[in-house]
Amino acid sequence: MDEIKDFMSSPVKSVTSDKSVEETAKLMAEMSISSIFIEEDGDCVGIVTSTDLVKRALAKGVDPKATSISSVMSKPLIKMDHYLTRSEANEKMHISKIKHLAVTKEGKVIGIVTRRDMI
């Protein structure tokens, strides 16, 4: 049985919700990643993808230096336990209409799985 932990990327990349859109975009570019988790009080509460940056920031003309990343993040964060199967993850992603899924262990986010990872 294929568990999603076998397909996930880890360790988790994240920023705090008070970071600006610009700071977050620069960090994503430096790390060559297309998504990043958003943390509040040590918990992952949302995610920002490259698409979110384009649609919710650039396309709307927000000031990237003055706008907090929390205002453009996708929330609530869609999560799934690490031991569940790839087919269960695919189904959840399809139903939720998402391309990135947070992988958890004992309630803590430990990784991320994308549609591309599942292929």
Question: Cβ(68)–Cβ(18) under 8 Å?
Answer: yes
Average pLDDT on 33-46 reads: 95
Domain with 64 in it: what CATH number? 3.10.580.10
Which are the contacts of 115, defined by CB distance < 8 A and separation ≥ 6?
90, 93, 99
Which are the contacts of 2, defined by CB distance < 8 A and separation ≥ 6?
85, 86, 87
113 vs 111: CA distance, rounded Å: 7
Number of domains in the chain: 1
pLDDT at 108 (0 to 100): 94
Name the band, by pLDDT with cuts 50, 70 and 90, for residue 37: very high
The whole-model pTM stands at 0.92
DSSP single-letter state for residue 7: T
* Residue 87 domain boundaries: 4-118
Model confidence over 11-23: pLDDT tens digits?
999 999 999 999 9
pLDDT at 115 (0 to 100): 87
Question: Chain-centre distance of CA 15, in angstroms?
Answer: 11
3 vs 83: CA distance, rounded Å: 5
DSSP single-letter state for residue 57: I
Model confidence over 50-105: pLDDT tens digits?
999 999 999 999 999 999 999 999 999 999 999 999 999 999 999 999 999 999 99
Please name every residue paired with 9 in a beta bridge, in sequence order, or none if there are none. Answer: 112
3-class DSSP assignment, residue 37: strand
3-class DSSP assignment, residue 18: coil
